[in-house]
Chains A and B, each alone.
Chain A
């Protein structure tokens, strides 16, 4: 062993090496960098917290005052009396539309792309590129699509600017997400499972139905939860499809409609009418709390499911 550390100034070589190895070098640049990163992280955290605090601080007293009447009342022009009921109704119908239309369609498309279609085929590639693009199209453009197709062209079916049109529009919006997440879940199914099915003489559909889909179910469910969260939170497409912001006499499937995010949008800017105790912004905050609870529920469900799915796959 050739040590290039000669004995220095009276010490032996061993002592010199030990000294150089144990010396605490002050890595200032690294320290500063790590500090900056930590600062950025904390700043992000602070932003999130500030947002939540602002929301809950303004909504709190208002909700304490109104209690359940906020949930059950309809919209109107008096902040002391309005409620989110029409919005909840609208959002609920949209959610059901997504579950009934987008989810089966999305899973079916994913099954085709992963199990039936040949990967090298030009058409398959086209469909895949197309779906990834659709996933990045701004939500407002789906609103334009919905306005032409569902509100105008399909008016006999949807009766115009109604929840039917809104539900269909939002289904189209979330379809790409469902396809992409379902495809990933299906891709994770081990080939040995399919082989076992084929080896016993099961057909492609039987293998998909009995083995692939059950195994991929948690992953698919995760995508479903994420898409529902998205469907509840988006407002832009609904504005284009004709959601109402002011007055809504009755909630129905064949009349005008609204949804919770629309209410937040509409109330956030409104000035406080003279004579009322509360302001529209307080109501907006309260509606924001309602929406947040709804959306975060589904997002957390997705995260929990995904963690469970990961654990099962890696066998921990």
Chain B
């Protein structure tokens, strides 16, 4: 005769199952902990920084980013990130989008098999190496002859480097967006006798527009978060006066300000020139997170649609 205890299973097995579930759950919860810690660390430090300085004078001063002299002109670093991001997108959007359109609408499977790995190689190139490339080639050979800037180190050169870095992500998210447009739409267009270019530009691209916008947003987020190229090539080497709004001026990105705050042998932990790390970090975190949230939201909505 069967009783309830027969169907309970051995306690050894039940405990083991419970243990495994707990372990897996702990790992998943750890990711939430990481986010919480990031927010805590950044915002605690940012508040601490704001208390250290005379923030009205400090942040809105006109003199540039000079942490050791307690001059924290936000405008310098925000414009720096913005301009470099802008230049980067001017490079990455046409090139990345073209690659995506080409791969999605024009390329034969054989060509795809060649091009895709190339893009993936480009995606794998570490940012320091692109920084080296900008210093040794892009700045001296391209930017200087063409634009005649005051210095080889400027926001334009850095922006170009960041653009190169961002092409692959722009291409791949755009390609996903294009691929998710159902073939039936294309077929309907061809069936009316439309030519390929009409189909692509009047039907496919508009249908994919939200995905392309998401690609753009995600790429911008990457560009703003990029550190190495911005630090190596932008011109204001960690601290300096504001050099002007033009892309050929020297610049400093938010990320560059962060690496500078940590700077070398004379670290002033606890002092404003160090604690600004958290403030800029918090700013950067908020900006990129907002961009990512919007971008991811759009991408998820597309995935559900198709």
Contact = CB atoms under 8 A, between A and B. Distances in A.
User: A–B direct touch, CB within 8 Å, in complex?
Assistant: yes
A132 interface: yes
B289 A239 contact: no
A138 B95 CA distance: 23
A134 B128 contact: no
Interface string A210-237: 0000000000000000000100111110
Contact of A137 (B164, B196, B288): B288
Contact of B131 (A105, A108, A265): A265
A34 B225 CA distance: 33
Given A48-B121, A127-B29, A144-B281, A30 B126 contact: no
B17 A44 contact: no
Given A112-B25, A291-B126, A148 B13 contact: no
Given A29-B197, A30-B197, A41-B115, A137 B285 contact: yes
Interface string B105-127: 01000000001011111111111
A261 interface: yes
Contacts of B281: 140-141, 144
B293 A36 contact: no
Given A30-B196, A233-B127, A132 B296 contact: yes
A101 to B, nearest CB: 11
A240 B135 contact: no
A115 B295 CA distance: 27
Contact of A51 (B133, B201, B292): B133
Interface string A170-187: 001001100100000000
Contacts of A55: 129, 132-133
Contact of B126 (A29, A242, A261): A261
A137 B286 CA distance: 10
Interface in A268-292: 268-269, 281, 284-285, 288, 291-292
B83 interface: no
B34 interface: yes
B242 interface: no
B117 A303 contact: yes
Contacts of B255: 138, 140, 236
Given A116-B24, A137-B285, A268-B232, A130 B221 contact: no
Interface string B204-232: 00000000000000100110111110011
B244 interface: no
B278 A144 contact: yes
B164 A45 contact: no
Main secondary structure of the interface of B (DSSP, over half): helix
Interface string A195-206: 000000001110
A240 B133 contact: no
A269 B134 CA distance: 11
B30 interface: yes
Contacts of A236: 127, 227-228, 255, 259
B192 interface: no
| Interface size class of chain A, counting residues whose CB lies under 8 Å from the partner chain | 35 or more
B42 interface: yes
Among the interface residues B117, B197, B284, which one has the most CB atoms of the partner chain A within 10 A?
A: B197
B28 A139 contact: no
Most buried by B among A55, A126, A137, A242: A137
B256 to A, nearest CB: 10
Contacts of B126: 232-235, 261, 291-292, 295
A144 B122 contact: no
Contact of A112 (B27, B32, B102, B127): B27
B211 to A, nearest CB: 16
Contact of A133 (B17, B30, B289): B289
Interface in A141-187: 141-142, 144-145, 147-149, 172, 175-176, 179
Contacts of B292: 132-133, 136-137
Q: Which 4 residue pairs are nearest across A and B when measured between Cβ atoms?
A: A138-B225, A233-B126, A40-B98, A112-B24
Interface of A: 27, 29-30, 33-34, 36-38, 40-41, 43-45, 47-48, 50-51, 54-55, 58, 105-106, 108-109, 111-113, 115-117, 126-127, 129-134, 136-142, 144-145, 147-149, 172, 175-176, 179, 203-205, 229, 232-236, 239-240, 242, 261, 264-265, 268-269, 281, 284-285, 288, 291-292, 295-296, 299, 303
Interface of B: 13, 16-17, 20-21, 23-32, 34-35, 37-38, 41-42, 45, 94-95, 98-99, 101-102, 106, 115, 117-133, 135-137, 164, 167, 195-197, 200-201, 218, 221-222, 224-228, 231-232, 255, 258-259, 262, 277-278, 281, 284-285, 288-289, 291-293, 295-296
